[in-house]
């Protein structure tokens, strides 16, 4: 009887701890990035981004419109260089839905420092397996907002670090006819 009671208490305590730890970070991604980023609201047009960041370069690669700016502001308490880039990415309707931020990467400690700050703020990341030597970490999506952190190895040197934020609200209903079927 005592063993069953002890087991029940242990399971209950473990369940409560799991629930508490899940809520400890819960909705941090939504709170920080749910409305937008860098004083921009998700879904704005390129012209709105250009007003806030006037010295960028518009480009289309593989059919995806992006707007790149050089911006050396410190993020997550990490110093970035003036040549470091922020890329604003637009969806098929030409509305802002993602931002990629370059971080300096001179050594593995740069990766570890940023990863530790991200996990302290947003909880544990999940590793995304690949066969290219890229380290890709992501956090569970919250209300259409998702963050990820990637280390892309370089040919010479440590490579580059990329922090990404995406916001994809529920798509509007469409019919087959709307799509041409």
Q: Please write the tens of the pLDDT for every residue from 149-181.
A: 888 777 676 678 889 999 987 777 778 887 788
Q: How many other C-beta atoms are found inside a 10 Å radius of the C-beta of residue 151?
A: 22
Consecutive H or E run containing 46: helix 46-52
Residue 20 has a pLDDT of 38
Residue 153 has a pLDDT of 74
- Measured between alpha carbons, how far is 145 from 177 in angstroms, rounded to an integer? 29
Q: CA separation (Å) from 43 to 9, 108, 167?
A: 49, 35, 9
Residue 2 has a pLDDT of 46
108: Cβ–Cβ under 8 A, 6 or more apart, which residues? 158
- Measured between alpha carbons, how far is 9 from 116 in angstroms, rounded to an integer? 33
pTM of the model: 0.76
Residue 91 has a pLDDT of 93
Residue 107 has a pLDDT of 62
Residue 108 has a pLDDT of 67
Residue 4 has a pLDDT of 46
CA atoms within 13 A on the CB side of 180: 0
Residue 65 has a pLDDT of 94
- Please list the ranges in the chain whose pLDDT falls under 70: 1-27, 106-108, 129, 131, 155, 157-158
20: Cβ–Cβ under 8 A, 6 or more apart, which residues? none
Q: Structure tokens of 100? A: 């990629």
């Amino acid at each position: 009887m005592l063993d069953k009671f002890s087991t029940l208490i242990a399971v209950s305590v473990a369940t409560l701890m799991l629930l508490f730890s899940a809520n400890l970070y819960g909705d941090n991604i939504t709170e920080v990035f749910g409305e937008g980023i860098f004083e921009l609201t998700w879904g704005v047009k390129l012209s709105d981004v250009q007003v806030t960041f006037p010295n960028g370069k518009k480009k289309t690669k593989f059919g995806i419109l992006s707007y790149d700016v050089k911006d050396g502001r410190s993020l997550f308490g990490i110093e970035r260089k003036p040549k470091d880039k922020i890329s604003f990415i637009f969806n098929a309707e030409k509305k802002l839905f993602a931002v990629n931020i370059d971080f300096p990467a001179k050594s593995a400690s740069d990766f570890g420092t940023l990863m530790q700050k991200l996990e302290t703020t947003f909880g544990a990341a999940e590793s995304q397996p690949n066969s290219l030597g890229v380290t890709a970490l992501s956090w569970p999506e919250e209300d259409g907002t998702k963050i990820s952190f990637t280390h892309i190895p370089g040919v010479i040197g440590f490579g580059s670090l990329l922090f990404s934020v995406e916001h994809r609200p529920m798509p509007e209903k469409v019919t087959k006819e709307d799509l041409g079927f």
